[in-house]
Amino acid sequence: MRLRIEQFFRRLPLLPSRTRISTKITLLYAAILFVVLIFTSVVMGVGIYFSFYHQAEKEINISMHHVMRNIETGKAFSPGFWQSNPLLPGVVMRVTDITGEVVYDTDPRYPSLGMIESGRMKNWKPFWASDQMDVARVYNMAVYHATGDFTYEGQVYRLHFLRTITSETDYLATLQRMVLVTTIIGFIIALIAGYFLSNRILKPLRTMTQTVRKIEVENMDRRIEVPPSKDEMAELAETFNHMLDRLQAGFKQQQQFVSDASHELRTPVTVILGYSDLLSRWGRSDKEVLDEGIASICSEAENMQQLIEKLLFLARADQKRQVLHKEMLELSELIADVVKKMQIVAKDHTVTLGVNDAALIYADPVTIRQMLRIFLDNAVKYTPAGGTITIASKLCPDRKHILVTLADTGIGIAKEEQERIFERFYRVDTSRTKIGNGVGGTGLGLSIARWIAAQHDIAIRVESEPGQGTTFFLTIPLVDEND
């Protein structure tokens, strides 16, 4: 409906394309009102004329019936002929012989038959007029004319019944002009009133527009004032404020993301530049310096590569371009394989596999494996050498989910910081870096793990106490055997 209204106004040749919506609404509804008033006036005028003509036709028919009945009973023109009042008031009767001479007339002052015949509408008459009667225009009035023949004492006579339909033609014309003028005045009043009302109704919308124009990326704290009325304007303001909240959070997250990414990349770049300068000065003559520089540059380059791969993964995820290839997957086999390879890598830790129930899930094997490795890598990083890392999977009582637990004996996480560990680049404190194998995290792994879990409807819960280790609980839905 809204699109049709816009197209309607755009087609108007005199309506500029930048016309305000209040003006468009005013013109549209004023035009509708004008059409309704014109239609009502036309219907009312036709109704008045139809009523006049129908009433005249009805009175003539009744009078003709009474007269013909009296004639048939032999009372034609006798003294008792008029005692029954065969003619209704307003109906004039004339009797003519075969020569057309008037032999009887109830109202000699009424226009003559010759004038009525000359004024008869032969080629056209109003559609509301009866087909059985003639309509004549005489002076300032319209006359119905009906005839009927009868025989009296061997002579053939013709009855003429006349009835004025509208004796006040000027009055009706004046009435029509008044209705037209009233319609035009009503249209103008509707334009003016509609303009002011539409401006008043759309005032909150203009206020929103002014507020939005003042909102910029650098100043996104402003919000639209929500009108007190619970209408569409209030709903629009609340929706827009909610959108601004999300945009502001997104901008802050983006700014923080760029700042953190720059910070993470600055360190390895600085190290690489430093060792490059060192090698250019003394690396050619000192083999120890050469070996140390090459090893450090390779290490930092690998860290940069891992960081960039994680950033690209999250970027694709944000843009919904990260493709998952889900299939039926035996989770117990995947967990056993991940644990086996982690035992080879984490030689300074004890990695054990507990209960590992068989479970069929519908998932992307690559990302599920990546998610489990992220949790195990974190456990290795933040668990001192000699610590224990345990992973287990057990079917839930509802037989619709499987619970995977990943526990470590590391340094743990404080309660107030557990909700933030899945934020990008967030690291609890410096004490959680460079533990065990001396490798600090980037703060992106758990963000990736959370995204992977969300794509598979996996619920994540964490329990941890400082100094007592951390346990992650993953509730994974199973394949419904009835499907």
The predicted model gives 253-265 an average pLDDT of 69
CB 470 within 8 A of CB 435: no
Percent of the chain at pLDDT > 90 equals 19
Reference 365, options 404, 393, 326, 335; nearest CA is 326
Q: Mean of the pLDDT values across residues 359-385?
A: 91
Confidence of residue 240 (pLDDT cuts 50, 70, 90): confident
Contacts of the segment 237-241: beta carbons below 8 A, 24+ positions apart: 237/204, 237/208, 240/208, 240/212
Range in 180-189, 361-370, 413-422, 435-444 with the lowest mean pLDDT: 435-444
Question: How would you class 437 by CB atoms within 10 Å of its CB: exposed for 0-12, middle for 13-18, buried for 19 or more?
Answer: middle
- Least confident among 165-179, 374-388, 415-429: 165-179
Q: Alpha-carbon distance 224 to 284, whole Å? A: 66
Q: Which long-range contacts (CB under 8 A, 24 or more apart) does 267-270 make?
A: 268/300, 268/301, 268/303, 268/304, 268/307, 269/304
Q: How confident is the model at residue 433 (pLDDT cuts 50, 70, 90)?
A: very low
Name residue, tokens 């090893």: 295
Residue 428: pLDDT band with limits 50, 70, 90: low
Output the DSSP codes for 131-183.
TTSEEEEETTEEEEEEEEEEEETTEEEEEEEEEEEES-HHHHHHHHHHHHHHH
For the chain, give the mean pLDDT.
80
pLDDT exceeds cutoff 80 at 264: no
Q: What is the mean pLDDT of residues 383-390?
A: 92
Structure tokens at 104: 């009887």
Q: What residue segments make up the domains of the chain, in order of their start?
A: 1-201, 232-318, 327-477
Residue 226 near residue 241, CB atoms below 8 Å: yes
Q: Is 40 left (phi over 0), alpha (psi -120 to 50) or beta?
A: alpha
Please give the structure tokens belonging to residue 312. 């690209």
pLDDT given for residue 363 in this prediction: 94
User: What are 17's two structure tokens?
Assistant: 């394309």
Ranked by mean pLDDT, which of 34-38, 61-65, 439-443 comes out on top? Answer: 61-65
Amino acid at 192: I
Model confidence at 107, in pLDDT bands (50, 70, 90)? confident
In the predicted model, what is the mean pLDDT of residues 94-121? 87
- For residue 233, the model assigns a pLDDT of 72
Average pLDDT over residues 423-432: 62
The reply to whether 232-318 and 327-477 are identical in fold is: no
Per CATH, the architecture of 327-477 is what? Answer: 2-Layer Sandwich (3.30)
Q: How much is the pLDDT for 320?
A: 78
CA distance 308 to 149: 113
User: What pTM does this model have?
Assistant: 0.51
- Give the architecture-level CATH label for domain 232-318: Orthogonal Bundle (1.10)
pLDDT band for position 291 (50/70/90)? Answer: confident
Dihedral sign computed on CA atoms, order 65, 69, 71, 72? positive
CB atoms within 10 A of CB 133: 21
pLDDT of 355 higher than 60? yes
- What integer pLDDT is reported at residue 409 of this predicted model? 93
**Cβ count within 10 A of residue 77:** 13
**Confidence at residue 431, expressed as pLDDT on a 0 to 100 scale:** 46
More confident residue, 455 or 90: 455
Tokens describing residue 99: 């020569």
Contact 257, 425 (CB under 8 A): yes
- Please state, for a pLDDT cut of 70, what percent of the chain lies above it: 84
Q: Which two tokens stand for residue 2?
A: 């809204």
Residue 271 identity: V
Residue 332 scores a pLDDT above 80: yes
Question: Could you give the 3-state DSSP secondary structure of residue 132?
Answer: coil
Q: Any idea what DSSP says for residue 436?
A: S
Mean pLDDT of 232-238: 77
Least confident of 65-69, 131-135, 315-319, 339-343: 315-319
Quick one: pLDDT at residue 3?
Answer: 47
CA distances from residue 379 to 412, 435, 483 in whole angstroms, order as listed: 10, 10, 37
CA–CA–CA angle 184, 189, 195 (5° rounding): 125
**pLDDT for res 225:** 74
Quote the distance between the C-alpha of residue 312 and its chain's center: 35
Residue 2's pLDDT band, with cuts at 50, 70 and 90, is very low
pLDDT value at residue 335: 94
Question: Which residue in 479, 471, 481, 464 sits closest to 354, CA to CA?
Answer: 471
pLDDT of amino acid 13: 47
Q: Judge whether 470 and 412 are in contact, CB under 8 Å.
A: yes
pLDDT at 308: 78
Closest to 471 in 3D by CA, of 423, 410, 427: 410
Beta bridge partners of 134: 145
Mean pLDDT, residues 413-439: 66
